A and B are shown apart, each in its own frame.
Chain A
Amino acid sequence: MPREGSPFTGLGPVFVKELSDHLNSTRMMVLTLFVIVFGALPVGFTLQEIRTVTASDQFLFLRIFTVEPERMPLSFVVALNFMIPLMAIGLGFDSVNSEFNRRTLSRVLSQPLYRDALLLGKFLGGLATLAVALTALFLIVFGAGLLLLGLPPRGPEVARGVAFLLVAIAYGGVWLAVAMLFSVIFRSTATSALCALGLWLFFFILWPMIASAITTGFTPTQFRSVDEVLTLEQFSSALARLSPGTLFGEAVLGLLNPETKAFGYFANLVMAQTRGMIPGTPLPLDQSLLLIWPQITGLIAGMIVLFAIAYIVFQREEVRA
């Protein structure tokens, strides 16, 4: 039977409330502090190193994000790759089940709004919070770069930086959707937090090992052609890309390292040979975007699919205790 009225009735108030709750919460302060500390350390070290570099570099400013400092085996983007999921999970793991446990859910749902608006409002509220925090972090790093390098970023660098920020927000959205899915499935907030964190650890620690083990299983004893090598590399990349962290890592690599022309060692070699591209020369921004388009699409699609699953589960849930 069709239902009447817009599914977005009440979306605005839910969004505003979620955003203000997040921004006022102690949890958000702790998470932001956490991310800033983790982000500031590599940036600080990197800046010290970059200042001593005398060779001319077209994209010096972007190196702040990507260079791995000698004193710390962690670049800013790698730190973010690790930290953004934690932040998103922190924001989303209790978004629905806490309403249930506080017994506010049935009261709110007895107001004129559909469950659609509640879930979407919560998701968008969380995403906006993430966006605010990441933008602040991004601006801090940019500002530190300006101050310490004494060198303004050029137009293409700013454009790549902004694109990087957007990809980071999309990446956060994926993990936010994961956390919200668990918050819909489990009534206990502790269980949903554990599951989301478990998945995070799985993708960061176990999945690379599993993927490489599977790839090893498919490796022939002797390669007969370059094509075979390439196919195997593509297979291993495809496995790794099931992890959103890999997608984010590649997208960021393509954006912040304009020299990137393909992902994977052999793929780069083949690229250079067959298309006559010279290794080490930068791509224009549009070509870089084209290169990472599948990764971006993958992240956004993942976010939508996870949200859709959460939506379906939430629609079927009983309101009563």
Chain B
Amino acid sequence: MSDNVIEARGLLKLYGTTPAVDAIDLSIRRGEIFGLLGPNGAGKTTTILMLLGLTETSGGSVDVLGFDPVRQPLEVKRRVGYLPDAVGFYDHLTARENLLYIARLLDIPRRETNARILEALKSVQLADVVDKRVATYSRGMRQRLGIAEIVMKRAEVAILDEPTSGLDPHATFELLEMIRGLKKAGVAVLISSHLLDRVQSVCDRVALFNRGKIALMGTVVELANKVLGAGHPILVEAGGIDVPAVLRGIEGMQQVVPEGVGAWKVVADREIRATVAKRIVAAGGSLTRLAELQPSLEEVYTRYFEEARHAA
């Protein structure tokens, strides 16, 4: 068995003659969190629906856990959990009843059903509102209930479409924790989102969608290197000395850019933090901060689409 849980080759979806998803290649490994990022309408949801066999493909091939979603959708849907964008539940039913319906559809043995529902709800901290009608739930609770459904399903792959949209920071944080929990349980997670910085923190790899194509794919650092240029940006805060002058001549250093009062962004092609610290201290400066700057996906994204626009 290969290590990839999802494998798409030349996946194509045409609406009329316009391609919504334009011959993309995608592979997702077992146990990783993969982010599908891009602006609204870039083809993320369409891709997801094709992976699940919920919409027909216009070309290309997909393999999900060894099954073809076009010909064997039941097998795929038995093993893949899906949390749709703005998920809905039956408001007049309780959380338990909602999950019970899904459990019946999944044909979970009746003896296990109750235990599995409770266990799933406990894992998303909804155990104390099991018998409350879903109408009383907040948006964050509904999203968590959606995660509980995936947990109950014991899915091998979880596909989450815009899971954090419309959530407050605290709810987002909790949800991302639960997504990490899924990963710990060995589930491969596919997240689609346009909220970059939040998703960046949990994703192992990301794919940047643009107009139905995958523009970039890889880890966040790889993408940053590709788009923003290679280099280790670091932030230096020091006082009492002329920092650019002191740092001049360090091997591999490329540029020093002021970042506000008493702070500089230093870019080098290798790790130079130790040298920088030594030089500043030797020069008698007071070093107050020396930090590696994480490349921000937001920056990558903005820069990439700016360049794409210019190129067009």
The yes or no verdict on A and B being binding partners is: yes
- Which positions in A face B, CB cutoff 8 Å? 1-5, 9-10, 12-14, 16-17, 21, 102-104, 106-114, 318-321
Contact assessment for A3 and B78 in the assembled complex, using a CB-CB cutoff below 8 Å: no
- B288 CB to closest chain A CB (Å) equals 51
Q: A17-B101, A111-B105, A111-B106 are in contact. Are A102 and B90 (CB under 8 A)?
A: yes
- A6 CB to closest chain B CB (Å) equals 8
Q: Which residues of B contact A108 (CB under 8 A)?
A: 102, 105
Q: Which residues of B contact A104 (CB under 8 A)?
A: 88-90
Partner-binding segment picked from B48-56, B119-127, B185-193, B248-256: B48-56
With beta carbons under 8 angstroms apart, the residue of A4, A21, A111, A320 that contacts B77 is A111
For this complex, 17 residue pairs linking A to B, each with C-beta atoms less than 8 Å apart, are A1-B71, A4-B74, A10-B105, A13-B101, A17-B101, A21-B90, A103-B84, A104-B90, A106-B49, A107-B82, A107-B83, A110-B81, A111-B102, A111-B105, A111-B106, A112-B106, A321-B86
Q: Which residues of A contact B88 (CB under 8 A)?
A: 102-104, 107
Closest B residue to A17 using CB positions: B101
- A97 CB to closest chain B CB (Å) equals 13
Q: A17-B101, A102-B91 are in contact. Are A107 and B73 (CB under 8 A)?
A: no
Give A112 to B102 CA distance when docked, in angstroms. 10
Interface size in chain B (residues, C-beta < 8 A): 35
Q: B206 in the interface, Cβ–Cβ < 8 Å? A: no
- B1 CB to closest chain A CB (Å) equals 20
With beta carbons under 8 angstroms apart, the residue of B55, B73, B83 that contacts A3 is B73
Contact assessment for A5 and B46 in the assembled complex, using a CB-CB cutoff below 8 Å: no
- A129 CB to closest chain B CB (Å) equals 16
- B9 CB to closest chain A CB (Å) equals 17
Contact assessment for B105 and A13 in the assembled complex, using a CB-CB cutoff below 8 Å: yes
- Which positions in B face A, CB cutoff 8 Å? 45-46, 49, 52, 54-55, 70-75, 77-78, 80-92, 101-102, 104-107, 146, 149
Give A16 to B82 CA distance when docked, in angstroms. 23
Q: A102-B90, A102-B91, A112-B105 are in contact. Are A318 and B55 (CB under 8 A)?
A: yes
Closest A residue to B67 using CB positions: A4
Q: Which residues of B contact A113 (CB under 8 A)?
A: 74, 77, 105
Top 8 A-B pairs, shortest CB-CB distance:
A103-B88, A13-B104, A110-B82, A5-B74, A111-B105, A112-B78, A102-B88, A106-B84
- A142 CB to closest chain B CB (Å) equals 34
Give A112 to B81 CA distance when docked, in angstroms. 10
Contact assessment for A109 and B146 in the assembled complex, using a CB-CB cutoff below 8 Å: no
Q: Which residues of B contact A112 (CB under 8 A)?
A: 74-75, 77-78, 105-107
Give A207 to B165 CA distance when docked, in angstroms. 51
Contact assessment for B89 and A320 in the assembled complex, using a CB-CB cutoff below 8 Å: no
Q: Which residues of A contact B106 (CB under 8 A)?
A: 111-112
Q: Which of A21, A106, A110, A320 has the most CB of B within 10 A?
A: A110
